[in-house]
Structure 1
Amino acid sequence: MENLKLKDFLDYKFISNLEISPNGAKTGFIVHKADYDNNNYQSNIWLLDNTTKEYSKLTGLNEERSFLWLNDSTILFPATRDKKINEKVSQGETWTSYYAIKINGGEAEKYMDIPLTVTAIKAIDEDNFLLTAKYDNYRTDINSLTGEERAEAVKKFQENKDYEVLDEIPFWSNGGGFTNKKRNRIYLYNRAEKKATPVTSELMAVTYFSYKDGKILYVGNEYEGKMEQREGIYCYDIASGKTETLLPKKDFRVSFAEFIGDTVICSLNDCKEYGLNQNPSFYTLKDGEAVLLKKHDTWMLNTVGSDCKYGGGKGYRVVDNKLYFPTTVNKDAFLNSIDLEGNETVLTKANGTVDVYDVHNGKIVFAGLRGLRLQEIYDVVGEEEVQLTKFNENVYNDKKLAFLEKCNFINDAGMEIEGWVLKPTDYEEGKTYPAILDIHGGPKTVYGEVFYHEMQVWANMGYFVFFCNPRGGDGRGNAFADIRGKYGTVDYDDLMKFTDIVLEKYPIKADRVGVTGGSYGGFMTNWIIGHTDRFRCAASQRSIANWISKFGTTDIGYYFNADQNASSPWVEHDKLWWHSPMKYADKVKTPTLFIHSEEDYRCWLAEGIQMFTSLKYHGVEARLCMFRGENHELSRSGKPKHRVRRLEEMTNWFEKYLKD
């Protein structure tokens, strides 16, 4: 077996958008692979035969990133293959082209051109579609113009690329660019008439939608000036063209809403006990009121971290009068179901993650991470899982991998904290080694016992790698996750005690230990270097330096900071500064590398620059590597060359300071 290398992730296969055909015979899914030379990802549709379990590639142009089943034998997918349409888009028109391909073979053929930038789509029948699309309140509809009027509009469109005019917050979003007065809007599209009919208003931002028997159920937030963190639930009747408010936008954050029969089931968070990050509970709606179905103390999401996923899929599904959903418990993400009696069932038993899934006539198929295996597709048969694919089996069989060792401990509050250690893959008794503490983001996410490329690379290079789930993380209920107003205190205590225990238990050179983390982990890295000099070096990624500047510059700052810090710049201003790592930058002695993306609007570039400048001002060795064209997701879905450079920068930094 050979050592796992830094660039080996370029050969990994990532699975997303898993959907079973209407008749249950086939499962479609997307397989992605990094293309280093072209600095993008090759994405193609694959099919799994649910009877024979054989699987094969359906498309081959490497740009099919999503799809939907039109019927049992035909798949639709968006693509940019039409030069004329592409030219129109370059001139400011909005179009999304869909192609149809038969699953039994043949070339894909143009099916329809929708005059919108589609974000999600569902087929009602072969001519009628329900979709969401981007709507810009300040954009001129160039699609409908001709002659001189069109020429003038195209000229204005090109000129306006030099400007951004802001009059609301948030005005940008991570991964979405500038979003001022832009909304995700619902439309009905008729293919025969080539007509798109808007369902929601110009200022309604739709966050979730579903369809049943001529009715569109959706979650939306209508706002102007400032978006508040509350949503309403609405139902649009296609036949009458009327919208009914089922739950007013007032008291709740709403994750989703679905029909089970004639009943609406939804997840709601009233934010009263634990703020914005409070775990939502299941409700049904009756006469404009929310009726509690079952209180929940876990998030209805897969929050187990890994740098080996790409793309997504549908999170909530209603099948046979049950709602299916993922949820994170401790270190694992499971698939669960719940019925209208509040009976909840855990459907997957094995540790790891359920990343994407579908259900048909009681049959469950999912893609996820299991142990040190990268993503594969599995059948759920009773309480057993059967692995169906072997896209990444060579990594498991041919590469040296470090196996996780449990290293749980009891913190100062008497809580058991989960932790793990990876030994160097070529570990020898009697030798001592350098080590790296890796801190997860969120903070409401978790580390699990799954494959993490960067950690495996470092273990293969002769490092101990250790990580844990300190207070503030997901999977253990609201009280454990609630660190509002405590950032850098109880979580810091957990991380430092964990470090003490690991150094005591393992043959690690105490003066050759580094620390890294991204997002919240970047905040903690910045915080740590201002409160201890026990780490020889640090790599701070997409970090937070100053809660005051983050409040006014980031896509979530004005509400997330106020909630998580229990203060604002005008209420307990000093508290925001007290929790800011920049306040303690004059105490830093640790050489620190900063990794930041130019278009990271979640933890904006200014955060990294402030901390970098502070260290340089005080004579501390520091380096900042800024990535153009990337956002907060650099380490997970950034361009391949950028992901390589990021990991090279970090690894070289550790090699410089941690190796003799």
Structure 2
Amino acid sequence: MSDTVKRPLAAEDLQRIAILSDSQLTPDGSGYTFVSTGANDQDGYTSHLFFQSLAEQNPRQWTFADGKDSHPRFSPDGSQVVFQSTRTGTAQLWLLHTDGGEARQLTTFKHGAVSPEWSKDGHYIMFSAPLEQGDEAVNQAISSEADQQEETGSKQPLIINRLQYKSDAGGFDDGKRTQIIRYDIQHDTFEQLTSADTDHSFEDMSPDGEKMLVSANFSENSDYEQTNDLYLLDLKTKAMTSLTNGKGQYGNARFSPSGAKIASLGHEFAYDGATLNELYVFDAATGYRTCPSQSWDMQLGDVMIGDTRMGQSENGPVWQEDGKHLLIIASSHGTTGLYQTSLDGDLTTIYAADNHVFDFACQSGTFILGISTPVNPGDFYQLDDKNNLLRLTDANRTFLDSVELSEPETLTFQADDGWHIQGWLLRPYGFQEGRQYPMIMEIHGGPHMMYGKTFFHEMQLLAAKGYAVLYTNPRGSYGYGQAFVDACRGDYGGKDYTDLMTAVDGVLERYDFLDDQRLGVTGGSYGGFMTNWIVSHTNRFKAAVTQRCISNWLSFYGVSDIGYFFTKWEQGKNLLEDPTALWNFSPLKYAENVQTPLLLVHGEKDYRCPIEQSEQLFVALKHMKKDTEFVRFPDANHELSRNGKPEMRIERLRHITRWFEQYL
């Protein structure tokens, strides 16, 4: 299609994109399975399992049922795959023989069953299930699908006696706790392995099958803490031994091949929520802990922000077969890569380029990488021993052949205090030298996350509509070391704000095709806060869209699912300590200064930044007869832009582009 003019991207193209995740190699490394997710006709998403032999050019679709099939895991001998599926309503476990045939349903738990993992001998499958206190797994297992769909009748009052009574992902606390269940394949029986009044996460099973790694918070003060500890559960005696000290947050824990050591990611809140992850290695017998990553000063795991990533993907740490090295994804300077470390912390790059490694699998010397770029939502590749990539999938070829996408130009700006701020610029669709174009600045959420070299549909859409798009990683972002990610705490609207404005000044000075009289700004969550802050502190922007924002830190403290601790973490004070300081950090205080036409976009079931944050700002602006509009999305939470209903995501994009078209 080199001689054919491609069309600009459209909001509706969200429904055409296949999103790949969760690669799992066969035990012998000869093939792999993965999950492909896409929008369906019922205003939701469908996920299917695919398999590809590394001797074949194209993957084969393994599952076809309506719903979401995900989390595939090979049995140790490779003859079967267990996975979870919503094909009958609630997520349940299914077993599929790799040589063909129909999948067989294993569970019919009333509230679902998820995240299956095999024991090393292949005799058991461990999984997680939400259970009410007093429920027993054996009783749950015989409940019918009809029972699962049974309505409870008229709604009853919700009695709340916990501080952590709601979450953006899970809604209101319903008394259920995630327990770990063991399924005996030969005898078709279930055994509940945990029962405490807290959520448990299965981490790993020891190679000898005698111990299980669990993460949980068993503290009497768990309702007031964000800690998560690692425990060894003896499956014979049911004794639970703590590996950690109750002062940190740990997860992604795995036994070494011999079972002698345990690797985990975690930190102990040295900088509260802005603390970089560390890699810890524990002696399984004594609990003695070392930290191979102590000198690295980079964020472990994938913290790249995008709007076309769904499904679980591997971050590591993953043991290599020699038991002396570990593999892990790390995020740095707007990219992510795959790295190997020794137990002493000697770091080696396995693969790192100017892109986004969102997943990996390694088995018997075979490496599979999931990679996204700004002009490709993501594919799987095999990495050979010479560091060459062999493309395995081409999931979005038809889509990519039809649309023109913009390659970002990497930029660096120097702040007044000498700090370097990284950013990127997308040129508009059909760019012509000599013309002038409006520019929109995008601001990421978090604030402790990272923009970078990955596919971002929303930004490409704005470029398709004729805008240059600027996006940056101001201080507070991951990717530039611990001091950088910590630098915005207690200074929201301070140097993070001047970092953004420095980037605007720098890009306008560098490119004469940008029209400094037609500037727009938008962002969500922290980016919504910063959008509000910008328009209440400067009139340089001619249009703004604030998404799932924060406008008032005083009320945020009590209405957000994280407000009671996040406010202190980020602002240094909570409502009870210094309300004046929180009011000074609140864009609502400065509403009278706003001259920029402002569109507020918010989900009505957002418990992270509740919709009252937009309501307050909208009413204040409207009361003063300022140019503003408020768009509410029913049944949408904080994740609307990333995994909300496709039709609602498209409608959201239409409103954003409509607003900018009206004023820019």
Given the two structures, how large is their TM-score scaled by the length of structure 1?
0.91
Q: 1:219 aligns with which of 215, 225, 228?
A: 215
Q: Which moved more, 1:331-340 or 1:537-546?
A: 331-340
2:50–2:63 CA contact under 8 A, matched in 1: yes
Taking a change above 3 Å as real, the CA distance of residues 502 and 96 of structure 1, as seen in their structure-2 partners, is: closer
Please state if 1:7 is matched with 2:12. Answer: yes
Residue 293 of structure 1 aligns to a residue whose secondary structure is: coil
Q: 2:340 aligns with which of 337, 341, 362?
A: 337
Q: Percent identity?
A: 30
Residue equivalent to 1:300: 300
Q: Which amino acid aligns with 2:261?
A: T
Please state if 1:360 is matched with 2:366. Answer: no
Written as runs of structure 1 = structure 2, the 5 A alignment for 1:10-409 is 10-35=15-40, 37-63=41-67, 64-70=69-75, 71-81=77-87, 97-114=92-109, 117-124=112-119, 127-137=123-133, 143=139, 158-159=152-153, 161-179=155-173, 181-207=175-201, 209-212=203-206, 213-214=208-209, 215-223=211-219, 226-249=223-246, 251-260=247-256, 261=258, 262-272=260-270, 274-286=271-283, 287-295=286-294, 296-316=296-316, 317-320=318-321, 321=323, 322-381=325-384, 382-409=386-413
Deviations 1:66-101 (A, max 9, x none): 32223423222333455xxx6xxxxxxxx7543333
Taking a change above 3 Å as real, the CA distance of residues 495 and 146 of structure 1, as seen in their structure-2 partners, is: closer
Q: C-alpha displacement at 1:414, in angstroms?
A: 0.4
Deviations 1:114-148 (A, max 9, x none): 5662232212255522122223338899957999x
Deviations 1:483-534 (A, max 9, x none): 2101110110011111112223332222221110011111111111111111
Q: Which moved more, 1:232-241 or 1:117-126?
A: 117-126
Q: C-alpha displacement at 1:395, in angstroms?
A: 3.8
Matches of 2:308 and 2:142 in 1, distance apart?
47
Please state if 1:480 is matched with 2:499. Answer: no
Residue 495 of structure 1 aligns to a residue whose secondary structure is: helix
2:128–2:201 CA contact under 8 A, matched in 1: no
Q: Which amino acid aligns with 2:307?
A: D
1:77–1:99 CA contact under 8 A, matched in 2: yes
Deviations 1:274-316 (A, max 9, x none): 2222112222335445333331422222112221222222332
Q: Which amino acid aligns with 1:244?
A: T
Taking a change above 3 Å as real, the CA distance of residues 119 and 142 of structure 1, as seen in their structure-2 partners, is: closer
Matches of 1:621 and 1:138 in 2, distance apart?
55
Matches of 1:29 and 1:643 in 2, distance apart?
25
1:174–1:631 CA contact under 8 A, matched in 2: yes
Residue 379 of structure 2 aligns to a residue whose secondary structure is: strand
Matches of 2:115 and 2:431 in 1, distance apart?
49
Residue 609 of structure 2 aligns to a residue whose secondary structure is: coil
Deviations 1:432-482 (A, max 9, x none): 221111111111111112322122122122111111111110011110011
Q: C-alpha displacement at 1:202, in angstroms?
A: 2.3
Q: C-alpha displacement at 1:365, in angstroms?
A: 0.3
Written as runs of structure 1 = structure 2, the 5 A alignment for 1:556-571 is 556-571=562-577
Q: C-alpha displacement at 1:154, in angstroms?
A: 11
2:49–2:62 CA contact under 8 A, matched in 1: yes
Q: Which runs of 5+ in 2 are unaligned?
A: 1-5
Residue 451 of structure 1 aligns to a residue whose secondary structure is: coil
Q: C-alpha displacement at 1:576, in angstroms?
A: 1.3
Deviations 1:190-226 (A, max 9, x none): 3455543332342232245111222111221125672
Taking a change above 3 Å as real, the CA distance of residues 174 and 424 of structure 1, as seen in their structure-2 partners, is: same
Matches of 2:619 and 2:376 in 1, distance apart?
41
Deviations 1:149-195 (A, max 9, x none): x9xx9999715743322111211112211125443222223345554
Matches of 2:138 and 2:216 in 1, distance apart?
27
Q: Which amino acid aligns with 1:293?
A: P
2:554–2:575 CA contact under 8 A, matched in 1: yes
Please state if 1:525 is matched with 2:509. Answer: no
Residue 356 of structure 2 aligns to a residue whose secondary structure is: coil
Taking a change above 3 Å as real, the CA distance of residues 359 and 135 of structure 1, as seen in their structure-2 partners, is: same
Taking a change above 3 Å as real, the CA distance of residues 179 and 315 of structure 1, as seen in their structure-2 partners, is: farther
Taking a change above 3 Å as real, the CA distance of residues 144 and 263 of structure 1, as seen in their structure-2 partners, is: closer
Residue 217 of structure 2 aligns to a residue whose secondary structure is: strand
Q: Which amino acid aligns with 1:179?
A: D
Residue 643 of structure 1 aligns to a residue whose secondary structure is: helix
Residue 580 of structure 2 aligns to a residue whose secondary structure is: helix
Q: Which amino acid aligns with 1:241?
A: K
1:46–1:55 CA contact under 8 A, matched in 2: yes
Cα RMSD, aligned residues only: 2.7
Q: C-alpha displacement at 1:57, in angstroms?
A: 0.9
Matches of 2:330 and 2:142 in 1, distance apart?
51
Matches of 2:563 and 2:485 in 1, distance apart?
19
Residue equivalent to 1:543: 549
2:108–2:142 CA contact under 8 A, matched in 1: no
Matches of 2:407 and 2:149 in 1, distance apart?
59
Matches of 1:566 and 1:505 in 2, distance apart?
37
Residue equivalent to 2:584: 578
Q: C-alpha displacement at 1:542, in angstroms?
A: 1.0
Q: C-alpha displacement at 1:341, in angstroms?
A: 2.8
Given the two structures, how large is their TM-score scaled by the length of structure 2?
0.90
Q: Which amino acid aligns with 1:271?
A: F
Deviations 1:586-634 (A, max 9, x none): 2111111111112221111121212222211222122221222221111
Please state if 1:410 is matched with 2:393. Answer: no
Taking a change above 3 Å as real, the CA distance of residues 144 and 654 of structure 1, as seen in their structure-2 partners, is: closer
Q: 1:438 aligns with which of 442, 461, 472?
A: 442
